[in-house]
Structure 1
């Protein structure tokens, strides 16, 4: 494989991943500000869909590109603390996403859809508690990859 092509795959994954995690947070928070269960349920559905398509897809491309670059460029990972740290932070963000954000997203989507199905004007407080936790964990899951980006670009 060509180095430039593998680097393109890696950077495409980074753009899709970082772009989606930031945009999803903005969409969801703007929907929450309306306090309208129908708008919030719609935003929750979109976050789940775009997470699968762009966040997970971006992770796959990042991994393929990163492993490819490692092999093609014969990177000595043991000598590159910045790469080790970046990989660690990226994995931490993935753990937060898999164990925290995804379950919270499912729970919030269910609460919002139930409120819509029952024509309720308000969401239960449990939704907003979950949303606050989602925002906190989401902040970490956004900060870690941006630090990773910095580490990857600055040896």
Structure 2
């Protein structure tokens, strides 16, 4: 019962994180394509709000649920191949998020606050948006790989 609880937290965390990453990229791209500064600025504000609400809380639930399930299920977290790979993928995605995406979002948010009032989107905003989209999509790959390893559990019987 406790194992199922932790596993459910882990899956909920992945759904929140991966879902937010995917949906946020989609509606931000569409908002930016309108070229309407107030819509773009609002979308950029929502990127920040949803990222810290859903991505951060999703990551927390994934870690809490994953380690809780591993502990209760007696899975050795540093010697079970699919668990090691899953942790590595989450670390890679987290490093991209913290090291690249969050700083870009902060820059974009500052620019968006200005152009919402001034009415002209600076070229830097467009450049940062393209970089953010590419790195955001790239950071989704390790999350999906981790999902695969979590479900398929390949190499469960040794390296």
Q: Same-fold call, TM > 0.5?
A: yes
| 1:36 CA drift (Å) | 1.5
Q: Which runs of 5+ in 2 are unaligned?
A: 154-159
Q: Which runs of 5+ in 1 are unaligned?
A: none
Runs of 4+ in 1 over 3 A off after TM superposition: none
| 1:80 CA drift (Å) | 2.1
| 1:76 CA drift (Å) | 2.2
Residue 100 of structure 1 is matched in structure 2 by 100
Residues 104-153 of structure 1: CA deviation (Å, up to 9, x unaligned): 111111112101122x2x31111111111101110111111011100111
C-alpha contact 1:37 1:113 (8 A) present in aligned 2: no
What value does the CA root-mean-square deviation take over the aligned residues? Answer: 1.2
Q: Distance between the aligned counterparts of 1:85 and 1:6, measured in 2?
A: 19
Q: Distance between the aligned counterparts of 2:97 and 2:21, measured in 1?
A: 10
TM-score (normalizing by structure 2):
0.91
Q: How does 1:82-93 map to 2 (within 5 A)?
A: 82-93=82-93
Residues 22-58 of structure 1: CA deviation (Å, up to 9, x unaligned): 1111111111111221111000111111111111010
| 1:78 CA drift (Å) | 4.0
SS state of the match for residue 74, structure 2? Answer: coil
Residue 151 of structure 1 is matched in structure 2 by 149
C-alpha contact 2:4 2:69 (8 A) present in aligned 1: no
Residues 37-90 of structure 1: CA deviation (Å, up to 9, x unaligned): 111100011111111111101011101101101110110234422221121111
Q: Distance between the aligned counterparts of 1:109 and 1:36, measured in 2?
A: 15
Q: Distance between the aligned counterparts of 1:145 and 1:27, measured in 2?
A: 20
